[in-house]
């Protein structure tokens, strides 16, 4: 996980969010500005409607009222209205006035609904014969509160008016988008600084975790009369096999942690059994087997070590089900445990121990092949066999210091990768 990768990912995220929000703000700003411009036109049309239809007209008897409304709306057309129509409460047209040259508009309007508007009036915007029109609906209500009908005033928006509305909307949209982007530019350094601080804290925590894994692994190895090189070596072999087997980053971290701590349960095994130079009897071996469950309990009680339990609890299981402690078989054995088992057995065969000399590579591989489909996952063993040259050159033949460095590079690759910040 490199700082450059962190900053790159943080910047990409800030820009992606900023442009998304800016685009949304622009669309909303455009729509709001258009609606506001239309509302302004509607308010003007409403004022004009109320001016030409004084309340006194609405108090007249029905025949006289309709005649007076017909006269009144004639003054509406020719100015800001192209068409004016009066409808009765039951939806019957009782009067209309059309500005010269707009008869085709009036004819097309017949196809639109003319139902009673809301009590406070309203408007709609529509395309009629390729032209943008606003229809303003004004209810006609007498002094007694009776709805007599409603008046529709139709305004055809010309190109200049439409351009003004669009221009105002575009300006509002740009202002909204620019405002968001400016905020993003101001906040980006602060967010980046916060991301860097979080990165450094996370890196320090991960380094501490890896340090704890190493320290525990060395302590366990020394108690088992080992120098600790075995832990680094077998952890690296298992991790390389995990890489070749296609484990993802999270699985690799769990495998590495489990590899370091695979024998942590031996802390609870008596020295008389753990350090016995000869072969263990049946009772002693049963006690030794308890280190698997003890290890699972220890890892299960220590937060970040929980993910190591698959290896700790499963590395003595065998493909044919003859292992311990649960006698799991085949793919019921966790993948990380199956991988580690191969690495652990091969390293044990190739290592010098108080009770044996290291086996030659050919003999070790012969023993590994004998365990195919009995001790080992056959698919993983095939992958391992293709890697033996690399394992021999880079791990088996390396000094303890070189093996430690090799494993630290492996841990850095999987615990501190750019992908972890994605």
pTM for this entry: 0.56
Mean pLDDT of 348-363: 85
- Nearest alpha carbon to residue 313 among 334, 287, 339, 288: 334
> Which tops the pLDDT comparison, 348 or 338?
338
- Nearest alpha carbon to residue 94 among 148, 155, 154, 136: 148
pLDDT of residue 341: 96
pLDDT of residue 37: 60
Q: What is the CA radius of gyration of the chain?
A: 42
Most confident of 143-147, 209-213, 280-284: 280-284
Residue 195 has pLDDT above 60, yes or no: yes
Q: pLDDT-based confidence at 405, cuts 50/70/90?
A: confident
Q: Can you say whether residue 90 is alpha, beta or left, with left for phi > 0 and alpha for psi between -120 and 50 degrees? A: alpha
How far is residue 168's CA from residue 32's CA, in Å, rounded to a whole number?
10
Please say if 71 is a catalytic residue.
no
Tell me how many degrees the CA angle 410-414-415 measures, rounded to the nearest 5: 110
pLDDT of residue 1: 45
pLDDT of residue 150: 85
Q: How far is CA 311 from CA 22, 118, 260, 379, in A?
A: 49, 72, 10, 18
Beta-sheet strand order (sheet of 93-98): 93-98, 83-88, 147-156, 131-141, 122-128
Q: Which residue among 266, 276, 318, 356 is the active-site one?
A: 266
Residue 34 has pLDDT above 50, yes or no: yes
Strand 122-128 and strand 131-141: the pairing is antiparallel
pLDDT of residue 420: 47
* 3-class secondary structure, 246: coil
Residue 68 has pLDDT above 80, yes or no: yes
Residue 421 has pLDDT above 50, yes or no: no
Mean pLDDT of 178-201: 72
Cβ distance 322 to 237 under 8 Å?
no
pLDDT digits 0-9 by tens, 133-160: 888 888 888 777 788 888 888 888 776 6
Cβ distance 234 to 347 under 8 Å?
yes
Residue 360 has pLDDT above 80, yes or no: yes
Mean pLDDT of 269-297: 86
pLDDT of residue 89: 83
pLDDT of residue 417: 58
Residue 205 has pLDDT above 60, yes or no: no
Which residues in 173-198 are b (16+ Cβ under 10 Å) and which e? beebbeebbeebeeeeeeeeeebeee
Peptide bond into 200 cis (omega under 30): no
Q: Any residues with CB less than 8 A from the CB of 90 and at least 6 apart, and which?
A: none
Instruction: Provide the token pair at 422.
Output: 């994605």
């Amino acid at each position: 996980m490199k700082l450059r990768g962190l900053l790159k990912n943080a910047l990409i995220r800030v820009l992606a969010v900023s442009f998304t929000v800016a685009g949304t703000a622009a669309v909303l700003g455009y729509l709001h500005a258009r609606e506001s411009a239309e509302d302004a036109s509607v308010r003007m049309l409403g004022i004009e409607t109320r001016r030409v239809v004084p309340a006194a007209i609405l108090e007249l008897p029905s025949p006289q009222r309709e005649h007076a409304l017909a006269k009144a709306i004639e003054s509406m057309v020719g100015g800001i209205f192209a068409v004016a129509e009066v409808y009765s409460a039951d939806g019957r047209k009782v009067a209309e006035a059309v500005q010269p040259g707009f008869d085709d508009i009036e004819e097309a309007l017949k196809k639109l609904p003319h139902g009673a508007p809301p009590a406070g009036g309203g408007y709609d915007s529509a395309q009629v014969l390729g032209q943008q029109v606003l229809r303003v609906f004004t209810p006609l209500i007498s002094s007694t509160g009776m709805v007599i009908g409603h008046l529709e005033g139709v305004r055809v928006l010309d190109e200049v008016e439409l351009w003004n509305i669009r221009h105002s909307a575009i300006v509002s949209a740009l202002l909204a988008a620019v405002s968001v982007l400016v905020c993003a530019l101001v906040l980006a350094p602060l967010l980046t600084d916060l991301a860097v601080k979080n990165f450094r804290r996370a890196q320090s925590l991960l380094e501490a975790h890896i340090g704890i894994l190493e320290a525990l692994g060395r302590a366990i190895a020394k108690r088992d009369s080992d120098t600790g090189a075995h832990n680094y070596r077998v952890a690296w072999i298992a991790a390389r096999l995990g890489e070749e087997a296609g484990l993802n980053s999270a699985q690799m971290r769990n495998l590495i942690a489990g590899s370091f701590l695979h024998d942590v349960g031996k802390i609870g095994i008596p020295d008389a059994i753990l350090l016995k130079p000869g072969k263990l009897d049946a009772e002693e071996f049963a006690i030794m087997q308890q280190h698997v469950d003890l290890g699972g309990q220890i890892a299960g009680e220590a937060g970040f070590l929980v993910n190591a339990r698959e290896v700790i609890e499963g590395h003595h299981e065998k493909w044919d089900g003859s292992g311990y402690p649960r006698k799991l078989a085949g793919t019921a054995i966790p993948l990380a445990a199956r991988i580690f088992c191969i690495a652990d057995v091969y390293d044990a065969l190739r290592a010098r121990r108080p009770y044996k000399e290291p086996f030659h590579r050919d003999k070790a591989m012969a023993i590994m092949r004998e365990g195919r489909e009995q001790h080992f996952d056959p698919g993983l063993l095939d992958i391992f066999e293709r890697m033996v040259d690399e394992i021999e050159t880079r791990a088996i033949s390396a000094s303890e210091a070189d093996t430690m460095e090799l494993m630290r590079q492996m841990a850095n690759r999987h615990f501190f990768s750019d992908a972890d910040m994605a």
